[in-house]
Amino acid sequence: LREPGLNLRVVQLFRDPRAVHNSRLKARQALLRESVQVLRSRHRAEPRGPARQQQQQQQHLLLPPGLLGGGRPPQPQHRAEFFLGGALEVICQSWLRDLLLARRAPDWLRRRYTQLRYEDLVREPRAELRRLLRFAGLTVPPALEDFVVNMTRGAAYSSDRPFLISARDAREAVHAWRERLSRQQVRQVEAACGEAMSILAY
């Protein structure tokens, strides 16, 4: 970040973890391998000794009930949800570390780092695009502004094909989790990701 020849800028994108969990559940099979890799990254970074025991007590908030008893592996029908829930916990822990680091960041880092919430981009695409390009020292071509608006204000909402890049009503995606997640799932996400959600004002 301090290399003068690079002029590197970092934009970190966040999204409401409840919406993230909803999207990941819809694409559970497609994200299974990625989720396992995320969980492995936590295993490599885990502390040892008493700190390890305390961390274990705080983990597994997003796993379906009954999957952890006696160290048994998850049943095949719950396998994807088991890995998806654990991976989201790791993601939220990583977000929290990043957010706390950004709060304490020196001026040289603050000048080169900014955060973007998906929900803000969806609600105010033109304003957020201008802010991001201004941060990057770039101009805002009218064609790019039109593209962003068109992609977030499409007529459809293709929820069944989450990896399809198409014009859709992204505002519907912001609150889709409210209709699709159970109360228990919402509570589990909020318990696992609460600190990061609070900092991000979710």
CB 129 within 8 A of CB 145: yes
pTM over 0.85: no
Identity of residue 191:
A
Measured distance CA(60)–CA(87) in Å, rounded:
10
Residue 95 half-sphere exposure toward CB, CA atoms < 13 A = 25
Per-residue confidence in pLDDT tens, the chain, 202 aa: 888 888 899 999 999 999 999 888 877 767 777 777 777 876 555 555 555 554 544 455 555 444 434 445 555 546 667 777 788 899 999 999 999 999 999 998 999 999 999 999 989 999 999 999 999 999 988 999 998 888 888 776 555 566 667 777 777 878 889 999 999 999 999 999 999 999 999 9
- Dihedral sign for Cα 156, 181, 37, 8, please: positive
Measured distance CA(97)–CA(154) in Å, rounded:
35
